[in-house]
């Protein structure tokens, strides 16, 4: 820390000296004409030769090496790195003196010079002019150790991006993934829409919301947990294919696959059901992998996953049967006893929720290759149609969740459009909410009225973008694919009162 304070003092002195000389250490503009793409442009240039071409580059100084009459520095811009050389005879004395006296690693500079290649084959810009564009006060992390502490990397993402170029690649890939999803859906006639993030009533998922307050109207508001109920209102209004890519917020746990703020895509298609949504979901994943990665076989943390093969479709009850648990032959009491014996974490003791919890406990860990888990118990959602030709003790709905790498990576329904049934299910959810189930749905009168106006048969699908990016970039934690993941605030002893 003492060394950092010393560096800060030295750099503040340089800033003061520059200002005395009438030089602004933070100028407004620089005409950057070229970039690290010079590496590609001049790949045919031979060793120990120069072009005579004058270029103007700019970026952050990453390293500086002084070798007598020569100074080497590595400059990084948005496209990569390049070497800058200052040498007596080729670089004006004023430029060399300015660089040696005032430029440090971490500074942004602009360099005008000649493109050349060294004897050792390093493409370089031999400087003729150096301009300081932004003086860095704090030193970069050490060259060889970089920014190693993961908590520090997430907390100070700006330093993580500076010191670890591979991190930037992850977020460039993330942008490509989202772009390819948009391209795919737009080509299928879907319309991208925006629905409210601040909502007077939350819904669309079983989750605890974040609550805030609108002072202008003196009413409570909620950050949305899902886009679902507003997108369905658009289907009622006459749109037939809609989607939204945006942030949702759930006041829940934080772990390697959960962040309180996350990115989802939700889409709805009139005259479709969950079978159509399964086709669409599989096509989206395959198209994105093919377009972004050039392959449908990915490797995640040492495990090969084949997105290209037809995805398995299997019911939740059949997966439990594979574990020798035939729920249709088990009364409620026996199911509950099994769950308690196996120490299964239960959200509710209703038959359907116990079955869903048993599935999560016994089956999820085996769902590595892409799998659609279909036909869930009715209690798991109040927004889904009953399964056609349903038999057995357990009432099922036409819902599926796609699983990859043992993770649930989406959710989809044959959407419930019967207003009477919807009202009944909302009323049951409201009762559960009153009993203390913080994840139950509140009663949404306006949405029920929208269904009373009439909604056509509709299929809906949600896909978690963050988990998709994790899988397609081989990232071990959701915090690796969110630029600024939620972090517990540090105690700041110097915080202003």
**pLDDT higher than 50, residue 274:** yes
Give the integer Cα–Cα distance in Å for 145 and 152: 13
Is 172 strand, coil or helix? helix
**pLDDT higher than 80, residue 142:** no
Is 306 strand, coil or helix? strand
**pLDDT grade for 495, boundaries at 50, 70 and 90:** low
Q: What is the pLDDT of residues 278-291, one digit of tens each?
A: 999 999 999 999 99
**Predicted model pTM:** 0.93
Give the integer Cα–Cα distance in Å for 225 and 217: 22
Is 256 strand, coil or helix? coil
What torsion, rounded to 10 degrees, do the Cα atoms 398, 404, 406, 411 define?
-30
pLDDT at 144: 44
Is 266 strand, coil or helix? strand
For the ranges 65-69, 97-101, 420-424, the lowest mean pLDDT is seen at: 65-69
Q: What is the pLDDT of residues 72-106, one digit of tens each?
A: 999 999 999 999 999 999 999 999 999 999 999 99
Phi, psi of 131 (to 5 degrees): -125, 130
Domains of the chain: 2-140 (2.40.50.140), 165-323+363-480 (3.30.930.10)
Could you tell me where the DSSP H helices lie in 268-418? 274-293, 316-322, 332-341, 351-362
């Amino acid at each position: 820390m003492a060394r950092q304070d010393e560096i800060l003092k030295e750099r503040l002195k340089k800033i003061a000296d520059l200002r005395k000389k009438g030089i602004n250490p933070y100028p407004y503009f620089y005409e950057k004409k070229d970039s690290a793409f010079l590496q590609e442009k001049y790949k045919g240039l031979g060793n120990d030769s120069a072009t005579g071409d004058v270029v103007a580059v700019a970026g952050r100084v990453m390293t500086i090496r002084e070798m007598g009459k020569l100074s080497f520095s590595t400059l990084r811009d948005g496209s990569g790195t390049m070497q800058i050389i200052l040498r007596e005879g080729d670089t004006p004395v004023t430029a060399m003196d300015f660089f040696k006296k005032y430029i440090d690693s971490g500074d942004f500079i602009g360099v005008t010079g000649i493109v050349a290649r060294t004897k050792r084959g390093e493409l370089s810009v031999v400087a003729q002019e150096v301009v300081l564009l932004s003086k860095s006060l704090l030193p970069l992390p050490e060259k060889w150790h970089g920014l190693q502490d993961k908590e520090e990397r997430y907390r100070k993402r700006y330093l993580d991006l500076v010191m670890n170029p591979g991190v930037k690649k992850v977020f460039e890939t993330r942008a490509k993934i989202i772009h390819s999803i948009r391209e795919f859906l737009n080509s299928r006639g879907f319309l991208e829409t925006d629905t409210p993030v601040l909502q007077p009533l939350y819904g669309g998922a079983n989750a605890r919301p974040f609550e805030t307050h609108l002072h202008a109207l003196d009413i409570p508001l909620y950050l949305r947990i899902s886009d679902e109920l507003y997108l369905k209102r658009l289907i009622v209004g006459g749109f037939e294919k809609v989607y939204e890519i945006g942030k949702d917020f759930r006041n829940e746990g934080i772990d390697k696959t959960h962040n309180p703020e996350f990115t989802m895509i939700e889409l709805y298609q009139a005259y479709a059901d969950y079978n159509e949504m399964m086709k669409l979901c599989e096509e989206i994943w395959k198209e994105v992998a093919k377009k972004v990665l050039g392959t449908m076989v990915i490797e995640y943390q040492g495990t090969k996953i084949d997105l290209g093969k037809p995805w398995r479709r299997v019911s939740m009850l059949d997966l439990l049967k594979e574990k020798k648990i035939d729920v249709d032959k088990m009364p409620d009491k026996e199911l509950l006893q099994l769950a308690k014996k196996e120490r299964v974490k239960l959200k509710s003791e209703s038959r359907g929720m116990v079955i869903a919890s048993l599935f999560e406990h016994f089956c999820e860990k085996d769902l590595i290759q892409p799998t659609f888990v279909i036909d869930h118990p009715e209690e798991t959602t109040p927004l889904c149609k009953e399964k056609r030709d349903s038999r057995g003790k357990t009432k099922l709905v036409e819902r599926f969740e796609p699983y990859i790498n043992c993770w649930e990576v989406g959710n989809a329904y044959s959407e419930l459009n019967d207003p009477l049934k919807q009202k009944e299910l909302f009323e049951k959810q409201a009762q559960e909410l009153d009993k203390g189930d913080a994840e139950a749905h509140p009663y949404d009168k306006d949405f029920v009225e929208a269904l009373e106006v009439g909604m056509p048969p509709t299929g809906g699908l949600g896909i978690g973008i963050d988990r998709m990016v994790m899988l397609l970039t081989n990232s071990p934690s959701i915090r690796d694919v969110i630029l600024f993941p939620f972090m517990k605030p540090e105690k700041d002893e110097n915080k202003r009162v």
